[in-house]
Amino acid sequence: MSEILKSLSDALAANTEAVSPSVVRMETRRRMPATGVVWNSDGVIVTSNHVVERDDNLRVGLPDGSTVEGKLVGRDPSTDLAVLKVENASLSVPHWADVSEIKVGHLVLAVGRPGKQVMATLGVVSAFDTAEKMRIGGALDYYLQTDVVMYPGFSGGPLMNAGGHVLGINTSALLDGVSLTITATTIKRVVETLLKHGKMRRGFLGVGAQGVKLPAVLAEALKQEVGLLIMVVEPGSPAEKGGLFMGDTIVQIDGRALRSPDELVNALTGDLIGRTVTLRVLRGGQLQNIEVVVGERG
């Protein structure tokens, strides 16, 4: 048994040492520094949005002990992610794990660099599931919860599996009292959007809607009890141009059920802007399809 524990202990220490060159210190807030992770060799760094308290005078502590200026590329408060870039720095890119490798009960290591040296803490994956909407409005591609103790300065740091691969970055800001990890799939989506546009683009229909119970026969047929009753259609909006009317009830967008205004907001991702979506609408007791070109929220 002692040999097994020693082998495990040595492996965890080796993983921490291996990821250390990819973990940076974020001097981006008034109190204790936080942590960031190298995303690519072009100097792109990802961290938690809530630890980046200003847009300029951002300093990044590198693994070699030096400190360089960081430029804010953009931020997405809804997923608590911020992207920075540093110039002329030799950075090591970690191996980002595929989500298919994650299972509840797996051992994980959280790593932080609030000081010059890295720190680590051990835990297990306590929950893992597909997309989850956060209380601050964002939608994660995956919901990954651990029992890792988030020490001060660990936000924005990596969570590693037993193989030393980075599963995502840790945050304590999305759910009160819960340590969540933003997986690489969500990070990739946010980073690519911010690098291209400098902000998170959001789709826009121009309707005000509220949840309403569907007729029993329709609810049974759709396997869906609630739809979205349109209360307002903004003049000149994509919804008006597409032929939506006040009193219509939207039940689906491109085959995806809509049961609340939040689900509609989350469905209107930036990649839909300028594209035609098919809305399944209940009008006058009959279901019909209406095509609408998604606009961009200002």
Active site residues: 50, 80, 155
Q: CA distances (Å), 98 to each of 4, 42, 189, in order? A: 27, 22, 14
The 3-class SS string of the chain reads CHHHHHHHHHHHHHHHHHHHHHEEEEECCCCCCEEEEECCCCCEEEEEHHHCCCCCCEEEECCCCCEEEEEEEEEEHHHCEEEEECCCCCCCCCCECCHHHCCCCCEEEEEECCCCCCEEEEEEEEEEEEEEECCCCCEEEEEEEECCCCCCCCCCCEEEECCCCEEEEEECCCCCCCEEEEEHHHHHHHHHHHHHHCCCCEEECCEEEEEEECCHHHHHHHCCCEEEEEEEECCCCHHHHHCCCCCCEEEEECCEECCCHHHHHHHCEHHHCCCEEEEEEEECCEEEEEEEECEECC
Pairing of strands 67-76, 81-85: antiparallel
CB 119 within 8 A of CB 112: yes
**Among all chains, which residue has been given the structure tokens 């408060």?**
77
